[in-house]
């Protein structure tokens, strides 16, 4: 909460949001929630900033996947992401836009999807569209909950955010099998 009131907190939020989408492991949720609690009048600004920076980072991840995958492949392997990356790659061949949408909203490591989308040469416009919608939904929902729930909700956020993400993923998978 102290850092969330820092005069450069918005810049750090944008940086964390950008890097999480292409190369870093810290999700911006850990900054977005306390910043929204500290300054609820800026909730929508923070959600928009997080979304825009995250989509910009997703485009960077896409470019990395498209043009530099051979250089980062050893890094993915050393971090233990090789198997996850291969799984993600197979999802693109089946679902494309849907895979990006799900990855953007759930706690699945988004960077794996952005890099895989570039390596698989997914069409850029659907990639950006899926990233913007899913990330926007996630961050505006989170900021809205923090704005609405205030401090009483903060203590439950860390427990709930992953559960909400996994529940959403389960609903999407069930809906897919019902409506296919």
3-state secondary structure of 68: coil
Quick one: how many helices (H) and strands (E) in the chain? 8, 0
Whole-number Å distance between alpha carbons of 174 and 48: 30
- For the chain, what percent of residues have pLDDT higher than 70? 86
> For 45-99, what is each residue's pLDDT tens digit?
999 999 999 999 999 999 999 998 888 788 878 888 788 778 877 777 778 888 8
- Angle ∠(114,111,34) on CA atoms, nearest 5: 125
> For 98-117, what is each residue's pLDDT tens digit?
888 888 888 778 888 898 89
Is the pLDDT reported for residue 24 higher than 90?
A: no
The confidence score (pLDDT) of residue 72 equals 79
3-state secondary structure of 7: coil
> For 132-141, what is each residue's pLDDT tens digit?
999 999 999 9
> For 121-176, what is each residue's pLDDT tens digit?
888 999 999 999 999 999 999 999 888 887 677 666 656 766 766 776 677 778 76
What per-residue string of b and e applies to 57-74 under the rule 16 or more CB within 10 Å gives b? bbbbbbebbbeebeebee
Is the pLDDT reported for residue 3 higher than 70?
A: no
The confidence score (pLDDT) of residue 95 equals 80
């Amino acid at each position: 909460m102290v850092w969330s009131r820092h005069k450069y907190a918005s810049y750090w939020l944008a940086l964390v949001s950008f890097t999480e989408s292409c190369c870093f492991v810290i999700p911006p949720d850990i900054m977005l929630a306390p910043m929204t609690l500290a300054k609820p009048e800026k909730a929508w600004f923070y959600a928009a900033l997080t979304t825009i920076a995250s989509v910009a980072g997703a485009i960077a991840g896409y470019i990395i996947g498209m043009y530099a995958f051979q250089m980062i492949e050893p890094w993915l392997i050393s971090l233990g992401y090789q198997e996850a990356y291969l799984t993600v790659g197979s999802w693109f061949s089946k679902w494309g836009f849907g895979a990006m949408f799900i990855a953007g909203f759930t706690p699945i490591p988004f960077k794996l999807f952005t890099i895989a989308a570039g390596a698989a040469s997914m069409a850029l416009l659907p990639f950006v569209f899926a990233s913007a919608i899913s990330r926007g939904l996630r961050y505006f929902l989170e900021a809205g909950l923090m704005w609405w729930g205030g401090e009483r909700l903060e203590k439950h956020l860390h427990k709930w955010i992953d559960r909400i993400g996994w529940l959403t993923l389960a609903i999407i998978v069930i809906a897919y099998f019902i409506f296919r």
